Chain A
Amino acid sequence: MLGKDLLGLYDTSAEDITAILDTAVGMKKLLTQNLKKLPHLQGRTVTTLFYENSTRTRCSFELAAKYLGAGTVNISASSSSVQKGETLIDTGRTLDAMKNDVIVIRHPMGGAPHLLAKNVKASVVNGGDGMNEHPTQALLDFYTMREKFGSFKGLKVSILGDIKHSRVAKSNLFGLTKLGAEVTMFAPATLMPQGIERMGAKIAKSREEALAGANVVMGLRIQLERMHGGLFPSLSEYAKYYGVGEECLKFADKDCIVMHPGPVNRGVEFTSDVIDAENSEINEQVLNGVAVRMALLFLLCKNRQGGEKHE
């Protein structure tokens, strides 16, 4: 069963992933029907500790916590304070002393949530750490796929974009391969990490090959700083050779869906036509994100409740 923390999907079993998705079904129903809050996290505190800018992930966690009755505290620390300010362990211990139940951490460095989790009593949820993992984004992606296709068995998922720096791509890969889906990746060679094929991804040689027969076409955000770092020459060149427009989508399955973790660079990863098309699930993903995070907080706090009883 799900333990104290959720640090990544590499260490999370298919059963636990499925349990979270199953719980999220009820949560989404509550959300979409405008029902009142659940009382399960009443008296508990969920803190978002973000060392990187984020609107949607933080907002999503905060809403999820509130729908379950928890109090929320938001801490924004600039990336520079990672090096200059209080150490992560000391920050964690301070939050522990204030009796936090869950700490959602986003951090520019891989492994920071693991370090925090080892040093605090609170449950730690990885809200994205460097190039490592972003498990809740992947879980909401899975929820969206399952809602559309019912099952992951044989599902063809194509992920295009900056794979090298993407924690989303990796969490998706770890989870999807456990759930039985096939993952194909496509990126400029400068944005493709080493060894990813040994983790179960198929590397496509062309955009057409990447999209061939895909049920899910997922784009990843291209960050401008990568261009400035020389990893590709320009956004327009990227869009021309690696972006996805309606013409390319014809290679995919006719019933495919289009996904993106956001925020989207219109005209770069996807053309606006693709983003705004009927089969685009990009907005649905956002709603599912709240449901999945509610389910996760619900299940983590269930474990905590069990733990406290034995104390």
Chain B
Amino acid sequence: MSEHILMDGAAIGRTLTRLSHEIVEKAKGTENLCLIGIPRRGEIVAARVRALIEKFYGASLPCAGIDIGMYRDDLVSGYFVPDARVNSLGFSVDGKTVILCDDVLHTGRTVRAAIEAIFDLGRPAKIMLLVLCDRGGREMPVSPDFVGKNIPTSSRETIDVRFAEIEGEDSLGIIGKE
């Protein structure tokens, strides 16, 4: 196994900055926006984007993580009890434009689960998807609105995202299995 680093900390920072601007551009402002991240790295992406938007535009957007344990589509087929927690965002999603954040987009199953989880909490006006990396391999009709980097991968490869909050440094690499 070998890892090939595709983005270092600076590159990730630049990409998140670009994505933050793209959000405000596409949403025509910061009005009515909120950020929801899928644990664990999606929450970090959401928190960083929130900080960047606040820095550039002065708007303090509501931001929270959403647990998808209870919404996984393999609960019955895999027959397990999820280690889930109850979702309480601290703000309402009704009528909001939700920016759903994750680090890597692959099959789209996680995103589907997250959308269902959000709808159990209210009815947003719009959900947009932001991912740091899209590695392809979709199994659901899911398309991201904001993509940091497109990295087409085979099923034998994995994307390794490291964040300072967890691993002590930022990087994004590809691991190929021999």
Contacts and interface: CB of A to CB of B under 8 A. Distances in A.
A23 B81 contact: yes
Contacts of A42: 76
B81 A33 contact: no
B85 interface: yes
Contacts of A38: 70, 75, 81
A21 interface: no
A26 B82 CA distance: 8
A30 B79 contact: no
Q: How extensive is the interface on chain B, given as a class? A: 10 to 19
B86 A40 contact: no
A249 B175 CA distance: 63
Given A35-B70, A36-B70, A36-B120, A30 B76 contact: no
Contacts of A39: 75-76
A34 B79 contact: no
A33 B86 contact: yes
A35 B84 contact: yes
B167 interface: no
A27 B80 CA distance: 11
A34 B81 contact: no
Contacts of B86: 33-35
A305 interface: yes
Interface residues of A, number: 16
Q: Which of B79, B83, B85 has the most CB of A within 10 A?
A: B79
A77 B111 CA distance: 49
A66 B137 CA distance: 37
Given A33-B86, A39-B75, A39-B76, A27 B81 contact: yes
Nearest to B69: A35
Interface in B82-116: 82-86
B74 to A, nearest CB: 11
Interface of B: 70, 75-76, 79, 81-86, 120
14 contacts: A26-B81, A29-B83, A30-B81, A30-B84, A35-B70, A35-B84, A35-B85, A35-B86, A38-B81, A40-B75, A40-B76, A42-B76, A298-B81, A302-B79
